[in-house]
Amino acid sequence: MTTETFIQIKKILDENKVKYTHLTHEHVHTSEDAAKIRGTTLSEAAKAIILKVEKKENDTKSYEFIQAIIGGDQRIDLKKLRNHLNSKNIALASPDEVLEKTGCTIGSVPPFGILFNITVYIDESLLKKEHIVFSAGTHTDSITMKPEDYVKIIGPKILDLKKR
């Protein structure tokens, strides 16, 4: 969890003249705790999940990291994502892999895959919210902003990622 990540996010938002609200709060680890302390609903939370996708080229196995963004009240459907990416194996990145790839610990990872040079996928239901709220690189900083501004800046791939 780094203040540097938060500063980078703030810089991107300011440079793009995006209206947002910075919330500071007690240390939180879960989407549920964050929603309570932020005074927001769980469905407005943009939960950032780092995943490891198996790639096969010429019988050589390698992995690529991606970021999936879903509502705090939702669970990701890995089967849908596997089908979309045409991959047989997608798994949650380990806490160590998340830290290595993002510099953030689980629960503080922001939905800004562009900072980590990874592709971002967002569940389409988040785009229907009036605003989204997310951890901004620390367990004590959050950002609230309009989803359309988020899409304009990040350019995520929009999919149905949630389990029904």
State pLDDT tens for residues 84-96.
998 889 999 999 9
Tokens 């007690």 — which residue?
26
Residue 48 lies in a domain: yes
CATH number of the domain at 76, please.
3.90.960.10
Per residue in 73-129, pLDDT tens? 999 999 999 999 988 899 999 999 999 999 999 999 999 999 999 999 999 999 999
Range of the domain at 49: 3-159
Angle at 158 between CA 97 and CA 64, to 5 degrees: 25
Residue 164 lies in a domain: no
- Whether the pTM exceeds 0.85: the reply is yes
Q: Which residues are CB-neighbours of 127 under 8 A, at least 6 positions away?
A: 147, 148, 151, 158
Instruction: Specify the length of the chain in residues.
Output: 164
Sign of the dihedral defined by the CA atoms of residues 91, 126, 44, 26, in that order: positive
Residue 138 lies in a domain: yes
What is the DSSP track for 6-23?
A: HHHHHHHHHHTT--EEEE
The pLDDT, as a whole number, for residue 28 is: 85
**Count of domains observed in the chain:** 1
d(CA 29, CA 107): 5
The pLDDT, as a whole number, for residue 48 is: 96
Tokens 């947002």 — which residue?
20
Are the CB atoms for 34 and 28 separated by under 8 Å?
Answer: yes
